[in-house]
Structure 1
């Protein structure tokens, strides 16, 4: 018992007082402070707490322990069990040269086999050439040798970048369903500035190389956080919408927001002037349960919004076009973002609500170089494979190939869709279509602008959504103020479908 307590105390000391003070001076939590900040009080149960390198005297008596820089165990977030894989930066900068890989591989296997969410708190400098000294030789690089794909197919996985995450550290962040990094503190990269300098002769700061300003553009990491507390709060929020595993249901919470709440301003949410933009996030806040929206990837592929939210307490996935960015068009990044979110919701049994204002695929040389059409095709594949109950609310435009991708249509999936009176659809937007079809007529008119407006007004009249509704080409045209009530009615039935798929009929 005495030796056990001594070993535990040495493990809790981590890298020692000077190393911990250095982290504190830099405004950073240490590994155990991060665990405490994430988990419910008193819920932490550590595994392998005394793993490390033991030192003994000549008679074989224990003297001291150099603890492993991987801390693993289980705890609870809002009462629900999660597995934790945490790097201890205070011990050799969290490098793999000072770790016991079996320890963190075990917790990942445990999360998969016991079907509990996994959170990785990553603060690792990656590998080191000193491994050559330890192993007295080198080995061929291998594909990841822990059950990454099995994990990602079974339980929610979260990666949090809390420092410089290079090499294997980057892999731990990126092999996840949700990732977040701390601004100006975390970097995610293949290799650090020293390697880049040697390889390319380029001097570059680590934040310029792999910081938040880089990844908010390239979608490598989903979200950014103001500080560590914000990052951990985002982890808690993300997990609150998801089930423990694909074999269970996501948690439903009590809701005191009336299902028939009808915010009057919604009737004027879409401008009468078709060339004016609006704030789609304000519409989402008005329709979903109050304070329930958690946005994912806000600064990437900005023409589409992806989020998690709730309807009458039931978790749902949210997709919406944002006309403030590229007019809401489908760009290559927006396509990737929509594909990723569709797959997430399908995997974990979340119904999807899509607010559609889609003018079509982005056009032009930049779009063609970016492979926009290939991205749109991948969205189509994701929609075809999606098992989520799905409803589309067409609020304004729905045109072309990208417009056709507003929801699943094949197989057993319903093309379940409603429209606001402001909606218009077709193969091409009226504005561009009129100029393309009547170019000569407009240019030869005595007043080209007036002629163009005359033609546009004509085509708008015959493209009225009510003409489509006459033929039942749209399920129903609704007053925008009815949207919340319609969706809350739909989610009751959609959730029963999810229940049947996950746990069988009740």
Structure 2
């Protein structure tokens, strides 16, 4: 007696599941420039590493004899695979079956993917392409009743954010719960031309708000490039998957493990001559911070997140002698590097991410303080800035501060925990205080300048005197700054620091008391 007949039926059902929504719908999907759900999984994961769970779950039809006559697979594919040889959980919507909406799926498969990542303590990748919600109002007549909505598996979603890396790709027109699944991640990415993300789609917005917009106008990549709803934009699905692979390469499988250290690919003692003149002596002149970062961190190791949101601050992953670190740095071409409401939120979220997964932070500081002016006040910048500073102060992950230029006001003071060890180094270009002398001079010497026959000459004389006082060497005399270094020594110093840090990190493993919020 053999069970071959049952195995044959199993294989037949598996083949039916791989047809997804059928030839017509699959072709229509691909004509939009999109990969199918199974092509996406194969492209993202290491070759031949995908092991599917629940492949034959779906909706079946039977004849009077009880034999299978038709089968529509669930529109959610779940399983495990490998990314750069490391095991992950992947859950992916199939838009060719009922547009990826929850009513066309076995809801428990999506829940199972979250639970699988949680219990196996594996990174989770969500490939989102649909609403993921309750489906059309037409179903009300079929069901005969309505329901109070819940967000399926949201307890697992929140637990995963505290314990395992979560990456999400928005790969189509994603609304409602689908959009929430994208946002409830540590890293999210959209694809130009084929991705849109919104709370509700154009028709609902048109009838509810009177705004007649296309999908692209309402939630395309040009909308979300700088909205903060997603982290990065990709030019293709393949590039989006590569970004996910890069993101995961810096993080451990879970909070019980250390970030993965790669074999050293760059000389830890490399000293870049250009750094000695990277910061102009004229403080009114700008400089390109990304060129500086490339000279400090391992070559080709910088992975930036959220470049166009809160642009005055850069948040990125990088490596020092193969060791992953988080990086915070200013972009003085945006708001002069001041902390805006948006960049404050960006810093807060990034510090919490590094804290969650034990990534040491290198903070390169050129901070003129919090953004000022009416627009800043309308956005509540002071509260957002204080939230970011609180995240810095609450973080227990090792952090080092490299002062490359300005440290002024509340914002500058909040870039490191000044009440701890406060491990920091300053370049000779450093300048600091409650406010810049150029601006403070006008207030402090207002009467003298108004009474002078030659206020410009007097102003320059006062400024010359003050510039001698604000020399970082004067601060070092009083041990107000611990160490002033040659900028060319920054990389060797940090590479030595990171080795010591990774010796200490095993004592910090586990969940942190401050919970991560997306």
**Normalised by the size of structure 1, how large is the TM-score?**
0.97
Aligned-pair CA distance for 1:44: 0.1
Q: How does 1:160-175 map to 2 (within 5 A)?
A: 160-175=169-184
**Residues 1:318 and 2:327 are matched in the alignment:** yes
Equivalent of 1:74 in 45, 65, 80 = 80
Aligned-pair CA distance for 1:445: 3.0
Equivalent of 1:202 in 195, 205, 211 = 211
Total equivalences in the alignment? 501
Aligned-pair CA distance for 1:474: 1.3
For 1:144 and 1:465, how far apart are their aligned partners in 2?
56
Aligned-pair CA distance for 1:256: 2.6
Equivalent of 2:434 in 421, 427, 439 = 427
**Residues 1:468 and 2:475 are matched in the alignment:** yes
Equivalent of 2:102 in 93, 96, 99 = 96
Aligned-pair CA distance for 1:144: 4.5
**Which residue number corresponds to residue 342 of structure 1?**
351
For 1:142 and 1:104, how far apart are their aligned partners in 2?
14
For 2:463 and 2:221, how far apart are their aligned partners in 1?
44
CA deviations over 1:207-236 (Å, ceiling 9, x no partner):
111122222222111111111111111000
For 2:88 and 2:390, how far apart are their aligned partners in 1?
32
**Which residue number corresponds to residue 16 of structure 1?**
22
For 1:293 and 1:430, how far apart are their aligned partners in 2?
35
For 1:159 and 1:500, how far apart are their aligned partners in 2?
30
Question: Mean alpha-carbon deviation: is it higher for 441-450 or for 43-52?
Answer: 441-450
SS at match of 2:429: coil
For 2:224 and 2:449, how far apart are their aligned partners in 1?
46
**Which residue number corresponds to residue 136 of structure 1?**
144
**Which residue number corresponds to residue 192 of structure 2?**
183
CA deviations over 1:458-498 (Å, ceiling 9, x no partner):
21210111111112221210001000011001111111111
SS at match of 1:260: coil
**Which residue number corresponds to residue 418 of structure 1?**
425
For 1:499 and 1:468, how far apart are their aligned partners in 2?
36
Q: How does 1:367-446 map to 2 (within 5 A)?
A: 367-410=376-419, 413-446=420-453
**Residues 1:353 and 2:390 are matched in the alignment:** no
**Residues 1:487 and 2:512 are matched in the alignment:** no
Aligned-pair CA distance for 1:176: 0.4
Aligned-pair CA distance for 1:454: 2.1
Equivalent of 1:38 in 36, 44, 49 = 44
CA deviations over 1:416-435 (Å, ceiling 9, x no partner):
10000000111011111111
Mapped contact 2:111–2:152 kept (Cα < 8 A): no
Aligned-pair CA distance for 1:446: 3.3
What is the CA RMSD across the aligned residues, in angstroms? Answer: 1.3
Mapped contact 2:398–2:501 kept (Cα < 8 A): yes
**Residues 1:299 and 2:308 are matched in the alignment:** yes
For 2:198 and 2:141, how far apart are their aligned partners in 1?
25
Mapped contact 1:7–1:64 kept (Cα < 8 A): no
For 1:143 and 1:74, how far apart are their aligned partners in 2?
23
SS at match of 2:324: strand
Q: Which has the higher contact order (CA 8 A, sep 6+)?
A: 2
Aligned-pair CA distance for 1:353: 0.2
**Which residue number corresponds to residue 453 of structure 1?**
460
CA deviations over 1:83-128 (Å, ceiling 9, x no partner):
0110001112111120111011011111011100000000003432
**Residues 1:247 and 2:248 are matched in the alignment:** no
Equivalent of 2:237 in 213, 224, 228 = 228
Segments of structure 2 that go 5 or more residues without pairing to the other structure are 1-6, 511-518
For 1:29 and 1:142, how far apart are their aligned partners in 2?
30
Aligned-pair CA distance for 1:447: 3.2
For 1:97 and 1:129, how far apart are their aligned partners in 2?
11
For 1:134 and 1:414, how far apart are their aligned partners in 2?
65
Segments of structure 1 that go 5 or more residues without pairing to the other structure are none
Aligned-pair CA distance for 1:134: 4.1
For 2:152 and 2:160, how far apart are their aligned partners in 1?
13
**Which residue number corresponds to residue 83 of structure 1?**
89
**Normalised by the size of structure 2, how large is the TM-score?**
0.95
**Which residue number corresponds to residue 150 of structure 1?**
159
Mapped contact 2:317–2:325 kept (Cα < 8 A): yes
**Which residue number corresponds to residue 3 of structure 1?**
9
Mapped contact 2:123–2:165 kept (Cα < 8 A): yes
SS at match of 2:492: helix
For 1:210 and 1:414, how far apart are their aligned partners in 2?
45
Mapped contact 1:72–1:85 kept (Cα < 8 A): yes
**Residues 1:113 and 2:119 are matched in the alignment:** yes
